[in-house]
Amino acid sequence: MSSVPYTIRLDDALKSALEHEAALDQRPPAQLAVRAIRAMVEGRQAKRAAIEAALAETDEGWFISQEAMADWMDSWDTDTETPPPAPDITPAPR
């Protein structure tokens, strides 16, 4: 994978903190910055994908009611913990 130069501006405190962390890891500051940016971008992409998947599910019209979720959550850490609820709100017949 090729790389290209990219310039960013850091305030003095962030630059010092980055350099300190890089020194502790015995890595160049740029390497830590790239890893941090990659983690942030991948996290945002994963979040966006999860939201898009959830929105696609809502188009199908199957939901779990608040009451069913509350009952399930109330069972957590008890001797009678129940499995996750199944959808109990279904699409209206067409």
Domain map (residue ranges) of the chain? 12-60, 61-94
- Its pTM stands at 0.66
Provide mean pLDDT across the span 23-38.
97
Distance, CA of 75 to CA of 58 (rounded, Å): 26
CB 19 within 8 A of CB 11: no
CA distances from 9 to 4, 16, 33 (A): 17, 13, 12
Q: Residue 63's beta-bridge partner residues?
A: 89
Residue 94 has pLDDT above 70, yes or no: no
Residue 8 has pLDDT above 70, yes or no: yes
Distance, CA of 87 to CA of 79 (rounded, Å): 24
Residue 67 has pLDDT above 90, yes or no: yes
Q: How many CA atoms lie within 13 A of 28 on its CB side?
A: 3
